[in-house]
Amino acid sequence: MRRAVAVRLSALLAAGALTAATGVALSTTTASAAAGGVTGYATQNGGTTGGAGGQTVRATTGTAIHQALCSRASSSTPITIQVEGTINHGNTAKVSGSSCNTAAGVIELKQISNVTIVGVGNGAVFDQLGIHIRESRNIIIQNVTVRNVKKSGSPTSNGGDAIGMESGVRNVWVDHVTLEASGGESEGYDGLFDMKDNTQYVTLSYSVLRNSGRGGLIGSSESDTSNGYVTFHHNLYENIDSRAPLLRGGIAHMYNNHYKRLNESGINSRAGARAKVDNNYFEDSKDVLGTFYTDAAGYWQVSGNVFDNVTWSSRSGDHNPAGPNPTSNTSVSIPYGFTLDGANCVPNVVAQTAGANKGLKVSDGSCTPQSPDPTDPGPTDPGEPTDPGPTDPPAGTNLSLGAGADGSSKASGTSYGNVVDGNTGTYWSPSGSTGSVSVKWGSTTTVSKVNIRLASGSGTIGAYRLLNHDTGAVLASGSGAGTVSFSPASLKKITLEITNASGTPRIAEFETYAS
C-alpha cells in the first residue's frame, strides 16, 4: 500500500435539509427547497438549485410525481417533490400537460427545468424503475434508492439505466443516492449512472453504486465527446465489473471515492478524455485506471491515491492500464473550490455518509462526518422586517464606492448601483431567491476582503460564492452576510453569486477592500 498525501484547498461543504410536508399525496406547502451544499461542476454554469424557491409537494407514487410536474404553471416553474414509499411500474403512469412530457414505466424529467426530487420520511425506493433526464436543466435528485432497472427481460425501464441523462442536459446534482443492480448485461442490466449526447455540469456525491456490470459512462461512443465537466466525490463503487466511470472526451474530477472490488477495470479514460483523480482509495480491485478496450487514448492527472491490494495487467493492444505505478500524463485545472479528505480515511468517512437514508451527512474535510442543519427554515415573509444585525466594516477604503455594478435579473424597483452607493437604505434584489451582482472597475484592482450588508426586510442568504469574474475562479463560499477574507486577487470584476436563499435577499452594500 502507498501512503496517500492529504491536500487541503479552501472550500465550504454545507448541506441543507428538507423537512417532510404533512398531508396526503400532492398536498402543497410553501416550504422552500434546500439546495445548499451543491459541490463540484454542478456549481458552475450558473449553479444548480433545483426547485429552490418553489412549492413543495408530497408524492407516494410515480404517477403523483408526474402529476406534480404537470400541475406547474410552466415547464420551468420551480418545484420540490418529496417522495416516500416504493415507486414501481404499477403506480407510474403517463400524465399529460403543457408543463411536462412524461411516460409510463419511467420517471421522465424531459424538457423541463428547476426540479428537486428528494426522498423523505421512511425513504423512497424506485424499484425496477429508472429516472430519465432528457433536454432538461437545473435538476437535483437526493436521498433515493434506484434498484434493478432492466433493459431486457421484464419489466424494462429507461434502457436499463438507474439514472440516465441525454440530449443537452445541463446542471444536475445527484446526492446521497443508492444505485444498485443484481448483475450485468447478461442478466438484463445496463449502467447505473449514464450521461450522453451533450450532457454537462454534473455532480455525483455521497452515493453508493454497487452490484452491477457497469458503473456508468460519459459519452455513448468514441464520437460522442461533447459531454463532460462531471465531478464524482465521496462515493462508494462496490462490486462493479467496469466503467467506474467510462469517460469519452471531456473532463471529470474524481476525489475521495472508495472503489472496492472493481472486477475488470475502473476509471476508463479514452478518446481524449482527461480525468483528475485525487485522494481516492482503491481496494481489492483490478486495473483501476487506464485506457481500456480502445486505441483512442485518454489521459489522467493523479495525486494522493491509495492502492490497497490492486492488481495490474500487462499493457497490450487496446488494454493500457496506468499501473502498477500510475503517474500523471496531463494536467487538469479545476474551476471550483474543494477540500480533500486524506485518502487513508476515505473508506471510513464514505461508509458513514454515502447512500440514501444516511441523514445527508457530509465530510468536513477532516475525515469527520457532519450532519446538516436539522430543519429547513422556510421562506421569509418579505413584508415582515428583519434585522440583519450590525456589520462592522473592515478597516481601509471601500473600493466599491465610485465603481460600476451589474448582475443578473433584478427585482422591480431595485438597482445594481445601489450596492455601491454607500447608502444602506437602498438595495439590489434578484428577481427570485437566487441571482448574482457584481462590482467592476475600469482597471485591475486588488481585492482580498468583502463585506456584504443586508437591508431591512431581507431574506436570508443560504449559500453564496464569490467569483473572480475575469477567470471564473471561486474566491470564497459560505452562507449569510458579513465580512469574508480570501487570498488577494487582482481583477476587474468580482461577483457575488447567491445559489440558495430563504426569501428574497436585499443586498444593501457590496463593499470591497484591499486588505
Closest CA to 145 of 177, 174, 182: 177
Structural element, H or E, at residue 371 = none
Q: What is the DSSP string of 225-278?
A: ---EEEEEES-EEEEEEE-SSEEESSEEEEES-EEEEE-S--EEEETT-EEEEE
Point out which residues pair with 383 in neighbouring strands: none
Name the H helices within 180-293: none
Cβ-proximal residues to 8 (8 Å cutoff; 6+ apart), any chain? 339, 340, 365
Among candidate residues 170, 243, 453, 506, the one labeled active-site is: 243
DSSP assignment letter at 353: H
Do residues 177 and 355 lie in contact, with contact meaning Cβ atoms separated by under 8 Å? yes
Judged by DSSP in three states, 236 sits in: strand
**Which amino acid is located at 496 in the chain?**
L
Write the burial class of residue 413 (CB in 10 Å: 0-12 exposed, 13-18 middle, 19+ buried): exposed
CA pair distance 191, 308, nearest whole angstrom: 26
Cell of 49: 438549485
Grid cell digits, residue 379 = 421562506
Cell of 296: 483512442
Q: Is 506 a catalytic residue?
A: no
- Residues forming the active site: 243
